[in-house]
Each structure stands twice: as C-alpha cells, then as structure tokens.
Amino acid sequence: MIYDLNNILDKERFKRRSNDLYKKKAVVELTEKKRKRTLSQNSYLHYLLGYYAMETGNTIEYVKREYFKKLCNPSLFLIPKHDKYIGDVYDYRSSAGLTTVEMTQAIERFRNWSSSECGIYLPSPDEEAFLQSIEMELERHKNYL
C-alpha cells in the first residue's frame, strides 16, 4: 500500500497500519517513494543531447554516454565494479533511475560544461523558440543521429 503523508487521511491510515504491524512483530519493508523526473525533462534532455550531437558530429548515444554521463556527471552515473577477467571497470546507471532533482543537477552540469569548455550554448528549459528549432532539426537529421 502506498500512503501520501501530505494527506491527513493517508497519514492516519499509515499510522494505524504501521502500529498494527508493530504489535504483530511482523517483518516489514519500508521504502520512500521518490518523485521521478517528468516527461518534459526527458524531452528537454533529448533536445540538448541531440543539439550537442549535431554541433559536434557525434551520435546522441555517444554524447549521452561519454559527455553527459562519464565526463560531466560521473558521481551520478558511474558504478564501479570488478570484472574477474578485465579488472576494475564501470557500469553506467540508467538516467531513468534519477530523481527530478538529480536530473536537473545533471543537466545543469552538462549545460555549464558545454558552454564553458566547448563554446556550445545549450538553451534553458524556458527558451521555447530555441527548443522548438532544435526539435525540428532533430527530426530532419534523425537518420544520422
């Protein structure tokens, strides 16, 4: 059962249910449901990655893996592991597992890096005309990215 502790009725239901389980000495699991990022955040990231890819001649997947995840956001995406044949390697965390706050942070790091290190300005979320032009260019070049 999921309870929204901002809702007074759910808060009371949660207390009652957890007290019942406590009295039973039950084995329980308690997890916090974190907000996932929004669909608009997904689209926004895709536009930024696509625009950067077009500007640099790379694929979107390459830009996402090498620049967005590995270079700009290793603390959010790189998971160290040991492979018995290769040695120490990294797996990449999926961006789908990030919270809205984490994704906002990751995007800002990428935008700042792109501007300061590469001279490529990536628009903010409120620059609708710029984002719309990116969307149209991505559609035109979808076979190449």
**DSSP H or E segment with residue 54:** helix 39-56
DSSP 74-128: HHHHEEEEEETTTEEEEEE--GGG-BHHHHHHHHHHHHHHHHHHH------TT-H
pLDDT of residue 36: 60
pLDDT of residue 34: 65
21-72 pLDDT tens trace: 999 999 998 887 766 666 689 999 999 999 999 999 999 999 999 999 999 9
pLDDT of residue 119: 97
Flag the least confident range among 4-8, 70-74, 88-92. 4-8
Count, residues in the chain: 145
Checking if the pLDDT of 79 tops 70, the result is yes
Greater model confidence, 68 or 139: 68
pLDDT of residue 51: 97
pLDDT of residue 110: 98
pLDDT of residue 35: 61
Confidence of residue 5 (pLDDT cuts 50, 70, 90): confident
- Report the mean per-residue pLDDT for the chain: 92
What residues have CB less than 8 Å from 69, skipping those under 6 apart? 76, 77, 78, 92, 93, 95
Residue 80 φ then ψ, to 5°: -70, 140
pLDDT of residue 145: 77
pLDDT of residue 37: 61
